[in-house]
Copies of this chain bind each other. A is one copy, B any other.
Amino acid sequence: MKEIQKMIENGQLNELSALLAEMNESALRNLVSDLDAVDKVFVFRLLNKSTAAGVFEDLDVDQQALLVSSMEDPEVLHLLEIMDPDDHARLFGELPASVTKRLLASMSPEARNAVNLLLGYPEGCSGRVMSPRYMTAREGQTVENVLYGLHKSSLRPDEMESIFIIDRERHYLGYIRLGQLIKATPDTPITELIKGENVFAYTRQPRSEAIDLIMEEDIPTLAIVDSEKRLVGAITFDDALDMMEEDTTADIHRSALVGPVKTNIKDASVKMLYKARLPWLLILVFVNVFSGAGIALFEETIASVIALVFFLPLLIDSGGNAGTQSSTLVIRAMATGDVDSKDWLRLVGREAAVAVLMGCTMAIAVSVLGLVRGGPEVALIVSLTMIIVVLVGSLIGLLLPFLMSRLKIDPATASAPLVTSIADISGVFIYFAMATWILGI
């Protein structure tokens, strides 16, 4: 890495070329990912055309966008030639509109049509990520006909693993797997082998539903149809795997209330991160004003027993942590479909039982501390508060995601930071109200 950066600085072109020629594609891909934007293009130009194309194809889409933005059109077009149209659409979605327009203009008419079609669908829907490269067969054909068609087709071997069956109007009727054709006798009518007449997704359906269908049906390729059930594209398992990883990353970021970061974290700019992270932090500052107001209400209680403040972070954190656990469990179960928005009532009783048991165990632990630091009254206040705070925190964590999903807000928003802040406010009130009552102030 450093060696290579030094070579670039010193302009040692021959040495660098020789070194790059010895590296394999995966090492090159890692190298290109790690370099700065300018060095990236530099190294890229030293690769021979076919190696460059192979490396480019496997880069993350944000890395591709970075490279394309810094290269000249003929170079870019060469790279685009070897990419699939669905990958074009993903790349173009990342590029500035002006660059997209310029590149589209110089592409072949067929490629342009394919990309434009995919770009016409909103982001996140199945149509946007489908590929126009797939094999079709008509109802009337036999196994032999289809095998001959595959043999002569211009599709790549990995695009043949499912064959979609359509009628004269291109309506989707089902699929057959390539292996079925091998097992069957040549004169078998394909209608005898057909499966999955209900296994397809509409172009406007969220892509996550298409991925779920691929997972459920264990198929290498899923048919994508328009509103009249006419076959228009296909999503393959390898795209499903990539998208699943992308979607999981977005979900996890949302769980820390981080907005969309459309690039590898290593390359994100200060401005991008500031914009993604600040909004919720500011909202939470205002939410937390309520805990301050709560404390102000109990100023007298605090003034008379300052030792109460010692236990404040401990107690409110415990509620927040228990709440974070419940909300994380529920949000994930909702995402995988293990729990749906009607299940809340069923889970409340069990959650309360778990929370009270945990609260009691934690109360025993803190009562010792309370005794040592503040005497028996403080110990009693702290223990009772612990039980209630863990219970309330857990129930908030459990119910908030259900509430969000009722309000059509992404339940992942009800995550650690928000649950912690709300649990803190309740914790402050419970704690000082309990203290005021027990101390008889």
User: Which residues in A have some Cβ–Cβ distance to B below 8 Å?
Assistant: 26, 58, 147, 150-151, 155-161, 177-180, 182-183, 214-216, 218, 220, 237-238, 240-242, 244-245, 248-249, 252-253, 255-258, 261, 264-266, 270, 273-274, 277-278, 280-282, 284-286, 288-289, 291-293, 295-296, 299, 302-303, 306-307, 309-314, 316-318, 320-322, 324-325, 327-330, 332-333, 336, 338-339, 343, 346-347, 350, 353-354, 357-358, 361-362, 365-366, 369, 373, 390, 416-417, 420-421, 424-425, 428
How far, in Å, is A211 (CB) from chain B's closest CB? 8
A309 touches B295 (CB 8 A): yes
Contact of A266 among B249, B288, B333 (CB under 8 A): B333
Given A182-B160, A216-B26, do A288 and B265 touch, yes or no (CB 8 Å)?
A: no
A interface secondary structure, majority:
helix
A158 touches B179 (CB 8 A): yes
Contact of A332 among B216, B252, B366 (CB under 8 A): B252
B261 touches A424 (CB 8 A): no
A318 touches B249 (CB 8 A): no
Given A220-B237, A333-B265, do A281 and B322 touch, yes or no (CB 8 Å)?
A: yes
Contact of A320 among B177, B312, B420 (CB under 8 A): B420
A215 touches B242 (CB 8 A): yes
Cβ contacts A to B, 14 pairs, < 8 Å: A157-B178, A218-B238, A241-B241, A253-B329, A255-B328, A257-B325, A265-B332, A281-B318, A284-B317, A288-B314, A288-B318, A317-B420, A317-B421, A324-B417
**Which residue of the partner chain B has the closest CB to A424?**
B313
A6 to B12, CA, bound (A): 81
Contact of A289 among B159, B178, B249, B314 (CB under 8 A): B314
B256 touches A354 (CB 8 A): no
**Which residue of the partner chain B has the closest CB to A246?**
B336
A221 to B312, CA, bound (A): 55
Given A241-B214, A295-B309, A329-B258, do A424 and B274 touch, yes or no (CB 8 Å)?
A: no
Given A216-B26, A357-B274, do A314 and B285 touch, yes or no (CB 8 Å)?
A: yes
Given A288-B318, A314-B291, do A346 and B266 touch, yes or no (CB 8 Å)?
A: yes
**Which residue of the partner chain B has the closest CB to A292?**
B310
Given A295-B310, A318-B281, do A332 and B249 touch, yes or no (CB 8 Å)?
A: yes
Contact of A270 among B26, B248, B346, B353 (CB under 8 A): B353
A78 to B309, CA, bound (A): 64
A159 touches B179 (CB 8 A): yes
Q: Contacts A245-B336, A266-B339, A273-B354 given; 6 further ones with Cβ under 8 A?
A: A178-B182, A215-B238, A215-B242, A258-B325, A284-B318, A285-B362
A358 to B285, CA, bound (A): 12
A346 to B5, CA, bound (A): 15
> Most chain-B Cβ atoms within 10 A of its Cβ — which of A249, A339, A357, A417?
A417
How far, in Å, is A28 (CB) from chain B's closest CB? 13
> Most chain-B Cβ atoms within 10 A of its Cβ — which of A182, A291, A366?
A182
Contact of A264 among B151, B155, B338, B416 (CB under 8 A): B338
Given A284-B321, A329-B253, do A265 and B158 touch, yes or no (CB 8 Å)?
A: no
Residues of B near A329 (CB, < 8 A) are: 253, 256, 258, 261, 265
A346 to B179, CA, bound (A): 50
Residues of B near A357 (CB, < 8 A) are: 270, 274
How far, in Å, is A98 (CB) from chain B's closest CB? 28
How far, in Å, is A64 (CB) from chain B's closest CB? 15
B424 touches A362 (CB 8 A): no
A157 to B324, CA, bound (A): 45
Residues of B near A277 (CB, < 8 A) are: 322, 325, 354, 358
Given A336-B249, A362-B281, do A291 and B313 touch, yes or no (CB 8 Å)?
A: yes
